[in-house]
Amino acid sequence: MRTTRGCGDVALTRRGLLAAVLASASLTLLPGCSAAESSEQITVAGSTTCLPIAEIAAEGFKEETGVSVLVSGLGSSAGIEAVSNGTAHIASSSRGLNVEEQKLGLTTIPIAHDGIAVIVNEANPVDNLSVEDLCAIYTGEISNWSEVGGPEMDIQLVNRDEASGTREAFRTIVMGDAHFDRRAAVLPGTGQVRDVVSRSEGAIGYISMGFVDSKYATTTVKALSVNHVEPSEKTIASGGYPVSRDLYFFVKGEPAPSAAAYIDYVLSERMDDMIREAGFIPVARSVSES
């Protein structure tokens, strides 16, 4: 990932670490079990960004094994806390672990690549912003669209709440040591950000690329190029799009066999097309191999 003023790289633990975890777990759940044969339930808690992946996998996994997967989206931080204190089997997160969380003894499992799309209202003629522009906009230094080649119109900042992994990733990549403008509207979820931007001509926000053209959305928004690079599967997988990240699962210690089997299902080839349909990029394959 390219670094600019205030940007930093996140150290990633790759699939090899998961292989060691799965090897140590005796996976007794086999495809073909009926739902009546199991009363087990796996709990996955965390990122709203990761919800489509976790929920789609939950459906397929139950069909194959009979094991139910309860998925909730309370934010990345909440998921990490839940798995660390034992109230969830798996945490889903749209950011890596912070310094304090790295002391919790969690195993990091990348599940997909994602780009953070910078979105504006469709009526806004601006098509591109630099990372430096974005930083200046979100600190409040730039407050009118005319300062970045747009119309004479106040910029309406839309931000995410502090529990959001998307906010933390955006802060790390774009903001660095700079502080967010406290006058921004702070919203708890991706859907709310998308909805507000779609209805406010001067608004700007950021969401996972997978939610820009969501088939479940009733309104539309426009994703901007950043540093003249459009967010796409190719540019995100190659690292060319500067505001990109990985999505993760975290587990504590050796996961239960059913939880390990579910993680393996998410990382399997049969999830690739569904991960792409959700707007993300599978970690196991490059674009050229797909």
Dump pLDDT digits (tens) for 252-280. 999 999 999 999 999 999 999 999 888 89
Cβ(246)–Cβ(283) under 8 Å?
Answer: yes
Q: How would residue 219 be classed by pLDDT, with cut points 50, 70 and 90?
A: confident
For residue 269, the one-letter residue type is E
Q: Work out the average pLDDT over 137-158.
A: 98
Cα dihedral sign, 277-194-45-238:
positive
Q: What is the pTM for the complete model shown?
A: 0.72
pLDDT at residue 252, as a whole number: 96
The answer to whether 15-114+245-289 and 115-238 have equal CATH topology is yes
Q: How would residue 98 be classed by pLDDT, with cut points 50, 70 and 90?
A: very high
The DSSP secondary structure of 194-211, one letter per residue, reads HHHHHH-TTEEEEEEGGG
Coil, strand or helix: which one is 282?
strand
> Domain extents for the chain?
15-114+245-289, 115-238
For residue 121, the one-letter residue type is N
pLDDT at residue 19, as a whole number: 46
Pairing state between β 222-223 and 90-93: unpaired
- How far is the C-alpha of 37 from the C-alpha of 242, rounded, in Å? 47
Cβ(64)–Cβ(258) under 8 Å?
Answer: no
Cβ(28)–Cβ(66) under 8 Å?
Answer: no
Q: pLDDT at residue 167 above 70?
A: yes
Residues 167, 169, 172, 175, Cα dihedral to 10°: -40
- How far is the C-alpha of 139 from the C-alpha of 68, rounded, in Å? 44
pLDDT at residue 62, as a whole number: 96
Q: Helices marked H in the chain — which ranges?
A: 15-24, 51-65, 76-84, 131-139, 165-170, 190-199, 233-238, 257-266, 272-277
Q: Which residues, 6 or more positions from 23, have their beta carbon under 8 angstroms from its beta carbon?
A: none
- How far is the C-alpha of 30 from the C-alpha of 222, rounded, in Å? 44
Please state which CATH class domain 15-114+245-289 belongs to.
Answer: alpha beta
- The answer as to CATH 3.30.70.240 being correct for domain 115-238 is no
